[in-house]
């Protein structure tokens, strides 16, 4: 969104992120794009302000920041997934 709003849309085409047709459509609708970016930022900020960080697998809680009072470390998160019955992709737990 930022590249389109600053007039750097040619970079999106040269990087292969978007084609010319989509860049033209987004360029014509910069005000809509700006509003969407604002709404997404506001939504993200509101979601983070609750302090919630919840992970569910098949409807069962795997990690809850609200219950533990902290964000998980990679080891704690891996152990939580293993406790939920998820098998790691590799035999070792190196991160």
DSSP helix/strand/coil, 93: coil
pLDDT at 1: 53
pLDDT at 85 over 70: yes
- Per-residue model confidence as pLDDT tens digits over 54-66: 888 888 888 888 8
Look up the pTM and report it: 0.41
Region 6-25: mean pLDDT is 74
Q: How confident is the model at residue 68 (pLDDT cuts 50, 70, 90)?
A: confident
pLDDT at 88: 64
Burial tier of 1 (Cβ tally within 10 Å: 0-12, 13-18, 19+)? middle
């Amino acid at each position: 969104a930022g590249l389109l709003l600053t007039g750097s849309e040619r970079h999106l085409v040269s990087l292969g992120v978007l084609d010319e047709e989509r860049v033209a459509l987004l360029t014509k609708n910069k005000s809509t794009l700006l509003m969407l970016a604002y709404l997404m930022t506001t939504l993200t900020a509101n979601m983070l302000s609750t302090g919630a960080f919840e992970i569910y697998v098949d409807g069962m809680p795997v990690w809850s920041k609200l219950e533990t009072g902290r964000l998980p470390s990679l080891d704690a998160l891996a152990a939580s997934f293993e406790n939920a019955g998820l098998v790691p992709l590799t035999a070792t737990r190196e991160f």
